[in-house]
């Protein structure tokens, strides 16, 4: 359930903070990517070094970048990265600041920049009287009203030596609250339980037994989409050309080589998928008659006859039912949005991602991408430069906005 999920743990200044390295370890063991945000108070109770060691990530504290950094916006990107924000322990002070909408430390910034709908789990832990005070209860009610899940403290021995309400639940209990919350979040995604077909990577078109025509596609964008869809609870089939990438957790992968192989594999899934996202850079042409052995060089020039490959996306679009969504990419260098719009029309798609190609910040092999999403109603969403994982989340958000009217079986 937690495999591949991005979790932020916000740790505030309460004695229960001493349990948090154990919590980080539990989440890591479950396969989550964990980043820790430590408030000034939190740092008085638990060591940054311990948290960095168990999370295998730097611990985030200052909202202002330190001198020498080149990342000036991590107070924004960190919150955007997260699939869930866990605040444990949450002090009266932090509850007040979050409820008031302040943005004076890294935890508050993450809280404000978390993507809409992502779960926030708050574990208040403090003295019992303090917890029951009108101010704290008002702040808790405000946060609950904004959609945060507040897990009340447990009763037991407190730091004051007294027994009563105020203890933070044990790390194992916090883990199971998080799992439960992510499970119900998945159920809320219109893609939950839907079958999503993704094509990715390049294809190889055989010239002879040792040579082929291909392109520079790394498959990273398609794999990011498959990963993001699986995280939303979709049943994902990923058909990929030759790439050097790990299969995302929970994804069924089919490896193919040529456009014809990709077409044949995709056709098997066409009728059962709810959404087809064509992210592969399929070769448009293949050698007409690939040579069995190895072609020997002879003349100064050589002619290679090429024939058109089937357009997998267009084929799908032609034969799909109205309930199935067809999503494509258009990699363009110039006048891109207009070309992408024409492709959306020509292939009768629901959504197209115009992928601006500059070879540096977007396109093949790099880890970032600049997309403009255009849907069948003409809605256009120009995205900034994002990591491919972030771009995939945005693409799926756009697909989800189109999904309700298409809900139902393929």
Residues lying near ligand CTP in the complex (CB under 6 A): 199, 259, 278, 280, 282, 284, 309, 311-313, 328-331, 343
Of residues 43 and 337, the one with the C-beta less far from ligand CTP: 337
Helix (H) and strand (E) counts in the chain: 13, 21
Q: What's the rounded Cα separation, in Å, for the pair 180 and 111?
A: 20
| Catalytic site residue from 93, 215, 355, 409 | 215
Whether 83 and 182 have beta carbons less than 8 Å apart is answered as: yes
State in angstroms the smallest separation of the CB of 204 from ligand CTP. Answer: 13
* Measured distance between the N- and C-terminal CA atoms of the chain, rounded to whole angstroms: 26
Residues 6+ apart with CB under 8 A from 365: 216, 218, 220
Minimum distance from CB of 258 to ligand CTP (Å)? 11
Which CB sits closer to ligand CTP, 185 or 311? 311
Q: Which is nearer to ligand CTP, 223 or 329 (CB)?
A: 329
* Minimal distance, residue 200 CB to ligand CTP, in Å: 9
Closer by beta carbon to ligand CTP, 201 or else 233: 201
361 in active site:
no
CB of 340 to ligand CTP, least distance (A): 9
We find the least distance from the C-beta atom of residue 122 to ligand CTP, in angstroms, to be 42
Residues 6+ apart with CB under 8 A from 10: 37, 39, 85, 86, 87, 88, 90, 94, 107, 110, 111
d(CA 14, CA 163): 17
Separation of alpha carbons 261 and 282, rounded Å:
11
Tokens matching residue 362: 């977007």
Q: Which residues contact 186 (CB under 8 A, 6 or more apart)?
A: 192, 231, 232, 233
Return the number of the residue (199 or 274) whose C-beta is nearest ligand CTP: 199
Residues with a catalytic annotation lie at 215
């Amino acid at each position: 359930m937690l495999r591949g999920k991005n979790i932020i743990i916000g740790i505030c200044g309460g004695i229960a903070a001493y349990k948090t390295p154990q919590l980080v370890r539990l989440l890591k063991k479950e396969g989550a990517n964990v980043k820790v945000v430590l408030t000034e108070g939190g740092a008085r109770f638990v060591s940054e070094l311990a948290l960095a060691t168990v999370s295998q990530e730097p611990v985030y504290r200052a909202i202002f970048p330190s001198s020498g950094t080149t990342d000036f916006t991590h107070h924004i990107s960190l919150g955007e990265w997260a699939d869930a924000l866990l605040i444990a322990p949450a002090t009266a002070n932090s509850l007040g600041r979050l409820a008031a909408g302040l943005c004076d430390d890294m935890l508050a910034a993450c809280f404000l920049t978390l993507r809409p709908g992502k779960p926030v789990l708050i574990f208040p832990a403090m003295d019992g009287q303090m917890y029951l005070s009108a101010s704290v209860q008002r702040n808790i009610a405000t946060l609950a009203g904004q959609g945060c899940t507040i897990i009340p403290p447990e009763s037991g021995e407190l730091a004051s030596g007294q027994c009563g309400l105020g203890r933070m639940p044990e790390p194992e209990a916090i883990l199971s609250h998080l799992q439960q919350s992510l499970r119900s979040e998945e159920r809320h995604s219109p893609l939950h339980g839907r079958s999503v077909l993704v094509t990715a990577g390049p294809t190889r078109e055989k010239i002879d037994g040792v040579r082929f025509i291909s392109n520079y596609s790394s498959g990273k964008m398609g794999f990011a989409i498959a990963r993001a869809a699986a995280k939303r609870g979709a049943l994902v089939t990923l058909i990929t050309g030759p790439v050097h990438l790990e299969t995302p957790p929970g994804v069924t992968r089919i490896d193919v080589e040529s456009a014809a192989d990709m077409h044949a594999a995709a056709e098997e899934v066409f009728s059962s998928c709810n959404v087809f996202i064509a992210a592969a850079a399929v070769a448009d042409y293949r050698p007409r008659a690939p040579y069995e052995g190895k072609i020997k060089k002879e003349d100064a020039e050589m002619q290679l006859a090429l024939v058109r490959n089937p357009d997998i996306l267009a084929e799908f679009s032609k034969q799909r039912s109205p309930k199935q969504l067809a999503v494509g990419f258009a990699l363009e260098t110039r006048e891109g949005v207009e070309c992408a719009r024409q492709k959306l029309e020509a292939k009768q798609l629901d959504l197209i991602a115009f992928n601006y190609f500059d070879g540096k910040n977007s396109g093949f092999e790099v880890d970032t991408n600049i997309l403009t999403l255009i849907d069948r109603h003409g809605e256009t969403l120009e995205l900034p430069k994002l990591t491919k994982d972030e771009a995939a989340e945005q693409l799926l958000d756009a697909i989800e906005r189109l999904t309700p009217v298409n809900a139902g079986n393929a």
